[in-house]
Amino acid sequence: MLQFYQITDTHFYASEVLDPAGKAWEHRIKYDQKCVAESGAILDAATDYILRDRETQVVLVSGDLVCDGEREGHYAMREKLERLTAGGKRVYVLTATHDTCPYPKRYSAEKGEYPAEGLPRSELLKVYWEFGPASALSVHEKSFSYVAQIAPGYRLFALNDDGIGWERGFHGYDEDQLQWLREQLETAKESGDVLLAMGHHPLLPPNPFYGFFSPDDLIGNHVQIASMFADAGVHFMFTGHTHMQNIGYFDSERGNRIFDINTGSLICYPSPIRHMTLTDKSLTVKTDHLTSINWDLGGKSYMQYSLDHFEFMLRDILNAAANDIRRFCEIAPDFGLPSETAWKLRVPIRFAGKLMEKLTFQKAGRLLWCASKIAPEMRNVYLRDFVLALIRNMYGGDEPYKPGSPEYESFMALYHRLRPLLRRVIKGVPIADLDTIVEGLLYDGGYPDSDAVLPVPNTKS
CB atoms within 10 A of CB 402: 12
DSSP letter at 446 equals S
Amino acid at 362: Q
Helices (H) and strands (E) in the chain, counts: 16, 15
Q: Where are the beta strands (DSSP E) in 193-264?
A: 194-198, 234-239, 246-251, 257-262
Low pLDDT (below 70) residues in the chain: 164-169, 334-336, 425, 427-429, 431
335 CB neighbour count, 10 Å cutoff: 19
Contacts of 296 (CB under 8 A, 6+ apart): none
Q: Is 377 helix (H, G, I), strand (E, B) or coil?
A: helix
Give Cβ neighbours of residue 52 (< 8 Å, ≥ 6 apart).
none
Q: Give me the pLDDT at residue 445, please.
A: 86
Contact status, residue 258 vs residue 239, Cβ threshold 8 Å? no
pLDDT of 78: 97
- Give the per-residue SS3 of 320-345: HHHHCHHHHHHHHHHHCCCHHHHHHC
Please answer whether residues 403 and 172 qualify as being in contact, where contact means their C-beta atoms are separated by less than 8 angstroms. no
CATH number of this structure's domain 2-295, picked from the four choices 3.30.160.160, 3.40.50.1580, 3.60.15.10, 3.60.21.10: 3.60.21.10
Q: How far, in Å, CA of 347 to CA of 357, rounded?
A: 16
Whole-angstrom distance, CA of residue 313 vs CA of residue 308? 9
Rounded to a whole number, what is the distance in angstroms from the first to the last CA of the chain? 25
The per-residue pLDDT for 168 is: 59
In the chain, what are the domain boundaries? Answer: 2-295, 302-442
Cα-flanking dihedrals φ and ψ of residue 2, to 5°? -130, 130
